Each structure stands twice: as structure tokens, then as C-alpha cells.
Amino acid sequence: MGWGSFSLTNTFFAFSFKQLDKIFFYHLLIFLALGLMISHLMREIIIRAAILQKNLRRQSFLFVGLTLIMALLASYFKLETVEQLEILTSKDAQLLHRPDFSYWINKMVLVLSGGFSYFILFFIWNLIYFMFHYVTKSQKQQMDTLRLESLVKELELQTIKAHINPHFIFNSLNSIRALVDENPQRARRAVTELSNILRSSMHAEKAETVTLERELNIVKDYLALENMRFEDRLKVVYEIDEDTLDQPVPPMMLQTLVENAIKHGISKQIHGGIVKLISVFKDGYHELVVQNTGQLNGRVNAEGFGLSSTTNRLGLLYGSKAKFDIRQINGSLVEARVQIPVEDV
């Protein structure tokens, strides 16, 4: 396209100035043929010498040097070709004389003069070539970076999930162990509840998010299991907006917050307490709230794996758009609040 455009431009100007003759086409054909061959030769040298793999400073030096050498080479061959054509087509005996010193000086001047024209064209050609590969390389690096970030994100999520499930199983087994000697029949029922939770948990591993309804089923199984241990000491209240049931949430996140409420709240109360689950739309967010009887202390934020994993997963999935905080809302009630952005409410 480049050399074709060059030929058309020269033909247009030659036609405008009425210089469109046989000699013009001879010169143009030679110029074009040499341009195509030399530019392909430059490309081969660039690839074989791996110039594009070198640092930018060395690339620039090699780029200018290669352009200059190829321009002089193309100019010399053009001059030589034109001279030979003139000898073949002319009957002037002077053209057949033996070259002398002045001939070579004159030829050198003509090569340098013609080399300037080729240098400009080859410089533009090389500049476009290098810019094309620079942009392509940058785009490839960006895509590789995005793929790497995506892979890291996926691995981090899988790592967090791998920590959550053993952590949850450990606490559940402790609950079952407490029932084995005290009430074997209830212990068997507890095992059934745990199997339901594990089954749901295994399905949840296959997705980065699940519907709130599915997550609630896991929570209800978990709370049913904990009811075996706490009996009347545990009271559960649900305030769930039905419109939020199909909203996506990170799997096992709500269960982890409820587990945290049981472990750090209810289990430390002599008379037990309440666990309240709230799910509503508010100000463009899907709000998930877990309230429990208890006292908040500094160690909960620092050491609670469930809370740190919730923060990490929300950050990985939603960036800075999602919010999570835990606070003491009155003297006896702790609240964990998750806000997940929604597009349409």
C-alpha cells in the first residue's frame, strides 16, 4: 500500500507537469522495485537480528543505521540499473568509455543525493513498522497482564474458599461432638444437618457467586445444627425482602458471618441471645445485615478469619464498590453489614 501510494502520487505530479513519458516510467519502475526488495530485506534483517527484542536506545541506533545503509544501497543499485539501461538503449560511444576518477566522484555524489530520498522513505517505512510492533507488543503485554490478574484473582478466591470450608467443618464437628454423649439421637440428627450443609457447600464451590436464596438455605441448615447445641439459648429472626432472594452473593459469605456471630457472640452469653438476618435494597446497594447479641472487641477484627475473608472476597469480586463493616450498635448488640452494589433496584 505504501509503495503503491508513492507510485500513484509521483504519477499524478508527473501528469500535472506534463512529464509523463517512457523515461519517467522506467525510473519509477526501478525505484518501486528496489523499494519493495530493500524494504523486505530490512524486515528480514530486523527479524533475524532480533532488533525488536533489544532495549529502546539500541533499537533507535540500529534503526537509523539500518535505514542509512539500505538507503545508500538502494540508491547505488538504482543508479547502476539506470546507467546500464542507458548503455543498452543508447548508441553514444561516450557511454562506453573506461571510468576515470572524476566518474567515480560524480557517481558517489549521485548515490548520496539519491540516498537521501530513499532514506526519507525507508525512515518512514521503518518508523511505521516499529510503531506497529511496539503497539502490538504493548497490547499483548496488557492482555497478558489482565490474564495474569484474572488468574491471580481466581487463585485468591479459590484459596479463600479452601480456608473457609475446613474452618466451618471444624466448628460444626465441635458442635456435633458436644451432642454425642449428651443426646445420641440429636447427634444423629445433627450429622444429617451437617451432611446437608456440606452438600450445599460443595455445590457452592463451582461458582464465584450464588443467589441469596441458595446461601440462605446453607445458613438455615447451619443454624438448625447450632440449635441442637444451644436449644432455647439461641433465637433466630429473619427479615428478608423476597425481591433480594435472586441477588448474587459470594458463596459461604453469609454463613461465615452467622458462624462468627454464634462463635463470638451467642456462645459467650450465659443466657444466649438473638441472631437476626436482614436482607434489603437500600440506596443502590443490596444490604446484608447480621445482628447478634454480644460485645465487640478489638480482637474480633484482628483475628477473626471469617471477617478478614469477607473483606478480601468483596474486594476481589467488587473492588472498592462493595462495603463491609462491623460495629457495636448498642450495649448488647453487634452488627455486621455488607453492602453489594446492584445495577437496577
Residue with more model confidence, 268 or 229? 268
At residue 179, does pLDDT exceed 80?
Answer: no
The residue among 218, 201, 215, 204 whose CA lies nearest residue 166 is 201
Which residues are within 8 A (CB) of 337 and not within 5 positions of it... i.e. 6 or more apart?
287, 288, 289, 323, 324, 325, 326, 327
Name the architecture of domain 183-341: 2-Layer Sandwich (3.30)
Q: What is the pLDDT of residue 25?
A: 80
**Beta strand pairing call for 234-240 and 273-282:** parallel
Residues of the chain with CATH 3.30.565.10: 183-341
At residue 274, does pLDDT exceed 90?
Answer: yes
pLDDT in tens, 303-320: 455 577 788 778 888 888
User: Is the entire prediction scored with pTM above 0.75?
Assistant: no
pLDDT in tens, 84-134: 766 666 555 454 455 666 777 877 888 888 788 888 888 888 888 888 888
